[in-house]
Structure 1
Amino acid sequence: MSPQAPAPARPMRADARRNRERILTAAAAEFEEHGPEAALEDIASRAGVGIGTLYRHFPDRQALLVAVYREGVDSLVHCGDELLAADDPFDGLARWLGAQLEHSRKHQSLAASAMLNMLDDPDGPPPPCEAMMTTGAALLARAQERGVVRADVDASDVSRMVGAIALATDGAPDGPVCSNRLFQVMLDGLRPPAER
């Protein structure tokens, strides 16, 4: 007798989907304000749901951390996919890197916690940074092909620079101002020497 195929997952009800989205939005705000140790009860309260509803969607803190991080990265990837059609490839790359910097600034401590949890689950879906690197590489290659970005950098170089700016300015009194200034210096450095 051949084994039965697993039953397809039932689609989430509309009210459950709305609750899940509200929990993720509230969690992102709480984690940004209080770090990855933000109280789950405060997240549920901010989302307007009971703690039981939160646990039905996310069985523990780690699951919620990973879901918030994945949603942020998925949003970045979607943004990057849209920017691949931008008329100005340098502007498209710059806007995507700016969105990546903003995400890094908001979720610095969350990213570390989420990545550790994802690495602990080798059977889980691939880490979302792979999709982010693919999107960044496509935007960078397009700008390089048009000759508006120097040819001697790759996607990992650019990603490291954005991460370094976020890390170096984290917690600084003028953090956003300083990171924006450093980001502009980085963008200037990405231009081919003839265009500077």
Structure 2
Amino acid sequence: MTTATEKPQRRVPRPRADAVRNRERIVAAARELLVEHGPVLPLDEVARRAGVGNATLYRNFKDRGELMHHVVLTVTDTITEHAERGLAAEDAGEVTAFGALRTFVHAAAEERIGALCPMLNATFDKDHPELVAARDRLTGAIEQLTERARTAGELRPDIGVGDLMVALSQLTRPLPGTGCLDFDRYVHRHLQLFLDGLMAPARSELPGEPATLEDLRQD
């Protein structure tokens, strides 16, 4: 019951289930097109692939920049969830610390990080509080994965989180030209070779310094 001096609280209406599904389909379609064709994102094609009208797309996203923002946010959150599942599996004793890291890398590869990297040059606010919070959560989860594997003596000590993400990005980026249409079938094979090279004891000394995610953002 409210008193005479209290104002009744307004209830924020929950979006309808079909509206939520439409929004999710639009983001998924945009992500697919970015993987296939790069950062030039034709909004008419996004709407067509999502199975919605242009009016529905613009009702959810005012412009291309806002849509790109939500694609980056969705991919970042999904990759973080993969990392957190790896941590939980290691906590439960289901995998070793390096096993959790290995599982994360293969799962993250399915998100096609490398193919999505060019879109980070697109016009949208990369320092938006939502994106900063999402990046911080991702960084924290991956740092835990690598630190646990390092502490267990399973990860070579001269590897930084940035090294891991550079390799993951490069190995999931399709090669230029039309002769690499079956590129996807080699990704996990080459990631496995890369992961074997991360295991301790190291067989060589790496030049330079371990890379951090902060280093990558400054490049």
TM-score by length of 2: 0.73
Paired AA for residue 147 in structure 2 = A
Of 21, 42, 45 in structure 1, the residue corresponding to residue 48 of structure 2 is 45
Distance 2:49 2:161 in 1: 37
Paired AA for residue 49 in structure 1 = V
Q: Determine whether 1:32 maps to 2:41.
A: no
Of 104, 112, 125 in structure 2, the residue corresponding to residue 118 of structure 1 is 125
Q: After TM superposition, list the pairs within 5 Å mapping 1:50-61 onto structure 2.
A: 50-61=53-64
Structure 1 residue aligned with 2:15: 12
Q: Determine whether 1:147 maps to 2:153.
A: yes
Q: Determine whether 1:109 maps to 2:118.
A: yes
* Structure 2 stretches lacking a partner, 5+ long: 1-6, 204-219
* Structure 1 stretches lacking a partner, 5+ long: none
Paired AA for residue 176 in structure 2 = G
- Does the Cα contact within 8 Å between 1:23 and 1:43 map onto a contact in 2? yes
Overall identity of the aligned pairs, in %: 30
Distance 1:145 1:30 in 2: 40
When residues 180 and 164 of structure 1 are mapped into structure 2, their CA distance, relative to the original with a 3 A threshold, is same
TM-score by length of 1: 0.80
Q: Calculate the aligned-residue CA RMSD, in Å.
A: 2.8
Structure 2 residue aligned with 1:78: 81
Query: How many equivalent pairs are there?
Result: 187
Offset of residue 9 of structure 1: 4.8
Paired AA for residue 103 in structure 2 = R
Of 133, 143, 150 in structure 2, the residue corresponding to residue 137 of structure 1 is 143
